[in-house]
Amino acid sequence: GDSVTQMEGPVTLSEEAFLTINCTYTATGYPSLFWYVQYPGEGLQLLLKATKADDKGSNKGFEATYRKETTSFHLEKGSVQVSDSAVYFCALRGSYQLTFGKGTKLSVIP
């Protein structure tokens, strides 16, 4: 079945540091790929998505590129802010179900 593996957290960075959160997936067919963010006490919000190979999703300074050859969708941001502190989930969607990774908690300190 479909599965998503993302790097374990927690990740602690200083403000303005570079962020990478790795995500790889296993799926049949050609799934759409997503990054969701969950701020404390809130539901998940879609951060960005990519629907086909080589697509790059981007939003709020975050980027991720759909790499079919490596089955990866790593999340990057060049300069993190304290307000980026949250849990980040990588997910895929091959049908109407979303399959999530376990989440990576990011803490950004001033």
Partner 1 sequence: NAGVMQNPRHLVRRRGQEARLRCSPMKGHSHVYWYRQLPEEGLKFMVYLQKENIIDESGMPKERFSAEFPKEGPSILRIQQVVRGDSAAYFCASSPEGGLNEKLFFGSGTQLSVL
| From 44, 58, 63, 85, residue interacting with partner 1 (rule: CB under 8 A) | 44
Per CB under 8 A, does 10 bind partner 1?
no
Residue closer to partner 1 by CB (options 9, 67) is 9
Query: Quick one: 16 or 102, whose CB is closer to partner 1?
Result: 102
Sign for the pseudo-dihedral over CA of 88, 60, 32, 55 = negative
How far is it, in rounded angstroms, from Cα 64 to Cα 14?
Answer: 21
Residue 96 CB: number of other CB atoms within 10 A? 5
Q: Does 22 bind partner 1 (CB under 8 A)?
A: no
Tell whether residue 97 is a contact of partner 1 (CB under 8 A).
yes
Residue-wise burial string across 13-29, b where 16 or more C-beta atoms lie within 10 A, e elsewhere: beeeeebebbbbbebee
Residues in touch with partner 1 (CB under 8 A):
4, 32, 36, 41-46, 51, 89, 91, 93-103
